[in-house]
């Protein structure tokens, strides 16, 4: 595990605090989720719901709420008793799914740049990660490259759309082409859909398990932290066919056993919020995206405008840097802003070299302050 000893997010957030920088590095919102959901957590604590160990696979009411959510938004039918497991965030759900499905030496294929937890979780499971770079700049899945990366040892495709760090939302056609490779090679799929509700106008979130033939092979991952803007609560889940969920439950119950009892009760209310919550949430974040991306473009930075998530990507070469790491190390001192270099999300650092990730899940005044600082530094 030595290669996973530090995370870039911890390092950059510490640098932000030490230098008084605006932190557009780590992806957490600076505005909490709905007050009604906070009130529900407080009420659960006061009323004694979840203060003692809840059931290992999640509070039954939350499993039911997750099943209703999957039906309401995507038409997916799940039995809440057997097809849902609650976890300590999407993070634990992903780790448990890998521990369940990967044997020693099995290969796990993932598009790069990848979310850093994936690399560590594959190592924990004794697997071997195999990365397939998204196309440079546009960050689309290259399905021929995916097909070429599959070997007889490939067991799992670890998929993420909406995609962190690029903000790409894979289209139905792209997902269908990926599904063909999965079927040809008899793979399991872990589909990290933590950003399912953070998809902007003109794009659509298509759960991978809704593609023909994929439901029986796919573990789908969700995150209340992302969907309800409560990233510190760490409530997530895995859903899918009964046999796969049963497999995921085994390692999962021996990781944290259970966590976040009262928060699980609060998430029951959060998932049932009316359509207006979900559309206002999306629209607000889309305005923040537009503010940041417009500002970055005005600075002369080629910016890949994301279709979803918290993140935009720029190519820093026009500012005289060949290397995103060098840029991100200079940035706090030079401009008082923190961002994250893409190369930490690749094994082949070269593929990520010129790119930097900026988080826009911050209040408009904070984004404006960051842009003002950048334009003073790079005028
Ligand atoms: C934040 C994030 C997660 C982890 O979600 P938690 O619910 O906080 O554990 C998983 N996958 C991606 C892509 C993320 O960005």
What number is the average pLDDT over the span 12-38? 93
Phi, psi torsion values for 210, nearest 5 degrees: -85, -5
Mutation pick for ligand 1 pocket among 88, 89, 264 (CB with most ligand atoms within 8 Å) = 89
Ligand 1 probe mutation, 88, 225, 255, most atoms within 8 A of CB: 225
* 359 has a pLDDT exceeding 90: yes
Q: Is the pLDDT of residue 377 over 90?
A: yes
Pairing of strands 303-304, 311-315: antiparallel
Contact yes or no for 154/292 (Cβ under 8 A):
no
Atom of ligand 1 nearest to the CA of 93: 9
- Residues 356, 239: Cα–Cα separation, whole Å: 33
Q: What is the pLDDT of residue 5?
A: 87
Q: Alpha-carbon torsion 130, 324, 232, 360, what sign?
A: negative
Q: What is the mean pLDDT of residues 182-192?
A: 98
Distance CA 188, CA 210 (A): 15
Residue 304 has pLDDT above 90, yes or no: yes
What digits encode the pLDDT tens for the residues 203-252?
999 999 999 999 999 999 999 999 999 999 999 999 999 999 999 999 99
Q: Is the pLDDT of residue 379 over 90?
A: no
Task: Tell me the average pLDDT across 109-136.
Answer: 97
Secondary structure percentages of the chain, helix, strand, coil, to 5: 50, 15, 35
Please identify, by atom number, the ligand 1 atom nearest to the C-alpha of residue 235: 7
Judged against a pLDDT cut of 90, whether residue 284 lies above it is answered with yes
Question: In angstroms, rounded to a whole number, what is the distance separating the alpha carbons of residues 213 and 188?
Answer: 12
Specify the pLDDT at position 12.
86
* Nearest one of 165, 229, 221, 228 to 190, comparing CA atoms: 221
CB within 8 A of 108, min separation 6: which ones? 98, 102, 118, 122, 125, 127, 128, 129, 130, 154, 155, 156, 157, 158
Peptide bond preceding 293 in cis form (omega within 30 of 0)? no
Structure confidence at residue 66 (pLDDT): 98
pLDDT score recorded for residue 11: 82
Enumerate residues lining ligand 1, CB below 6 A.
89-91, 115, 160, 164, 192, 194, 223, 225-226, 231, 234, 236
* pLDDT given for residue 13 in this prediction: 85
Q: Which of 117, 222, 340, 360 to mutate to test the pocket of ligand 1 (most atoms within 8 A of CB)?
A: 117
Name the residue among 40, 238, 253 with its Cα closest to residue 49: 40
At 347 the pLDDT is 94
Average pLDDT, the chain: 96
Q: Give me ligand 1 centre to Cα 125, in Å.
A: 18
Inter-residue contact 105 to 126 (CB < 8 Å): yes
């Amino acid at each position: 595990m030595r290669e996973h000893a530090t995370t870039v997010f911890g390092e950059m957030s510490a640098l932000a605090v030490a230098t008084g920088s605006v932190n557009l590095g780590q992806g957490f919102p600076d505005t909490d989720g709905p007050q009604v959901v906070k009130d529900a957590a407080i009420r659960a604590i006061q009323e004694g719901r979840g203060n003692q160990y809840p059931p290992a696979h999640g509070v039954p009411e939350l499993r039911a709420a997750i099943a209703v959510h999957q039906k309401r938004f995507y038409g997916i039918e799940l039995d809440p008793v057997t097809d849902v497991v609650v976890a300590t965030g999407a993070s634990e759900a992903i780790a448990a799914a890998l521990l369940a499905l990967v044997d020693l030496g099995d290969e796990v294929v993932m598009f790069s740049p990848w979310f850093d937890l994936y690399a560590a979780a594959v190592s924990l499971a004794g697997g071997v990660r195999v990365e397939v770079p998204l196309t440079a700049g546009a960050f689309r899945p290259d399905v021929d490259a995916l097909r070429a990366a599959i070997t007889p040892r490939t067991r799992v495709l670890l998929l993420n759309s909406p995609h962190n760090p690029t903000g790409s939302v894979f289209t139905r056609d792209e997902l269908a082409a990926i599904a063909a490779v999965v079927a040809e090679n008899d793979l399991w799929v872990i589909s990290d859909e933590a950003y399912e509700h953070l998809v902007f106008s003109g794009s659509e979130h298509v759960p991978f398990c809704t593609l023909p033939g994929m439901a029986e092979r796919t573990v789908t991952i969700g995150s209340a932290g992302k969907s309800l803007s409560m990233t510190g609560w760490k409530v997530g889940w895995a859903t899918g066919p009964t046999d796969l969920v049963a497999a995921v439950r085994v390692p999962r119950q021996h990781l944290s056993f259970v966590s976040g009892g009262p928060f699980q009760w609060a998430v029951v209310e959060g998932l049932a919020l009316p359509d207006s919550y979900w559309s206002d949430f999306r629209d607000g974040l889309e305005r923040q995206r537009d503010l940041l991306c417009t500002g970055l473009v005005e600075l002369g930075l080629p910016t890949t405008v994301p279709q979803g998530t918290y993140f935009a990507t720029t190519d820093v070469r026009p500012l005289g840097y060949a290397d995103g790491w060098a840029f991100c190390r200079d940035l706090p001192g030079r401009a008082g802003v923190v961002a994250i270099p893409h190369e930490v999300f690749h094994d082949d650092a070269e593929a990520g070299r010129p790119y930097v990730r900026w988080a826009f899940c911050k209040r408009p005044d904070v984004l404006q302050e960051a842009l003002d600082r950048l334009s003073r530094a790079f005028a």
